[in-house]
Amino acid sequence: MVKANCCKKIVVKFGGSSLADHERLSKAVTAVVNEAERGTRIAVVVSAMGKTTDVLMSTAKNTSNGKLEKRELDDILSMGERTSVRIFSAALRTNGVKSRYFDPLDDDWPIITDAAFSNANPLLSECKHRITECVLPLVEQGVVPVIAGFVGRTSDGKVTTLGRGGSDTTAFILAEALNADEVVLVTDADGIMTGDPKVVASPRRLPEINVNTLVGLADSGAKFIHAKALKYKPRDINVRVINHAHGDLTKEGTIITGGLATELGVNIAYPSPIAEITVLGNRLSENPLIVSEIVDKAKAHATLLGMSMNTNSAILYVSEEKDIDALFNEAHKTVLNHAEALAMAVKKDLAFLKISGVGLEETHGIIGKISETLRVNSINISGILTIASSILLFIDSNQKENTLQLIRNALRSPQT
Average pLDDT over residues 241-254: 94
DSSP class of 131 = I
CATH topology of domain 9-257: Carbamate kinase (3.40.1160)
pLDDT at residue 1 in the model: 34
Strands of the sheet containing 151-154, edge to edge, are: 112-113, 151-154, 159-161
Categorize the per-residue pLDDT at 328 as very low, low, confident or very high, splitting at 50, 70 and 90. very high
Rounded alpha-carbon distances, angstroms, from residue 264 to 9, 45, 87, 235: 32, 29, 41, 16
Length of the chain in terms of residues written: 416
One-letter amino acid identity for 143?
A: V
Average pLDDT over residues 142-160: 97
Say how far apart CA 374 and CA 129 lie, in whole Å: 42
Nearest one of 397, 401, 403 to 379, comparing CA atoms: 403
% of the chain at pLDDT higher than 70 = 94
Categorize the per-residue pLDDT at 5 as very low, low, confident or very high, splitting at 50, 70 and 90. low
Specify the pTM: 0.80
User: Mean pLDDT in the chain?
Assistant: 90
pLDDT at residue 416 in the model: 45
CATH code given to domain 265-412:
3.30.2130.10
**Can you say how many angstroms the Cα of residue 322 is from the centroid of all Cα atoms in its chain?**
38
Task: Provide φ and ψ at 188, rounded to 5°.
Answer: -100, 15
- Fold match, 9-257 / 265-412: no
Q: Is the pLDDT of residue 218 over 90?
A: no
Categorize the per-residue pLDDT at 358 as very low, low, confident or very high, splitting at 50, 70 and 90. low
Average pLDDT over residues 215-225: 65
Span of 77-91, 122-136, 384-398 with lowest mean pLDDT: 384-398
Please say whether the beta carbons of 382 and 394 come within 8 A.
yes
CB atoms within 10 A of CB 289: 11
Domain ranges of the chain: 9-257, 265-412
